Each structure stands twice: as C-alpha cells, then as structure tokens.
Amino acid sequence: MTAREIVQRLERLGFRRVSQRGSHLKLRRERGGTMYTVIVPMHGKDVAVSVVGRILQQAGLEWSEFDA
C-alpha cells in the first residue's frame, strides 16, 4: 500500500492534513472528545504492513474500519 492510498483512506475517515515536514505528513482528527494525530511517511514507495499497523494504532482505528 502506498502512502498516498493511506492518506486518502484516512481523509475519508475524517482526518485532515495539519502539516508536512520533509517527507512526513501529519494528519489529525477529533473523535469522541479525543484528538488523534498520525504521521504518514511519504517516501514514494510502499509502506510496510507493520508501519500501517502503527499508523492505525495511532489513529485509534481497526483494520476493518480502515479497509472498508
């Protein structure tokens, strides 16, 4: 999965781009009174499954929500 695909899916789930520093994009959303912030590496290659898992953990999401 590419970084662009990850960002598109997160934006569909309500995340908004906050800032970008170098090749790392920061997205944020509020849900249930909790602020979730995730960092997506925009390195131009596929993102490892383990990194996607960490992004979902930071986002407070399950695979089923993300993959829908």
Q: At residue 62, does pLDDT exceed 80?
A: yes
User: 52: domain CATH number?
Assistant: 3.30.920.30
Provide the domain limits for residue 60: 3-66
Is pTM beyond 0.85? Reply is yes
Domain count of the chain?
A: 1
Residue 44: pLDDT band by 50, 70, 90 thresholds?
Answer: confident
In 3D space, the residue among 47, 51, 38, 36 whose CA is nearest the CA of residue 4 turns out to be: 47
Q: What is the mean pLDDT of residues 2-19?
A: 97
The amino acid at 55: I
Place of tokens 């993300």: 66
**pLDDT at residue 11, as a whole number:** 98
Q: At residue 37, does pLDDT exceed 80?
A: yes
DSSP class of residue 44 equals S
Q: What is the mean pLDDT of residues 57-62?
A: 95
Going 41 to 52 to 19 to 9, the CA torsion angle's sign is positive
> Under DSSP, is residue 53 helix (H, G, I), strand (E, B) or coil?
helix
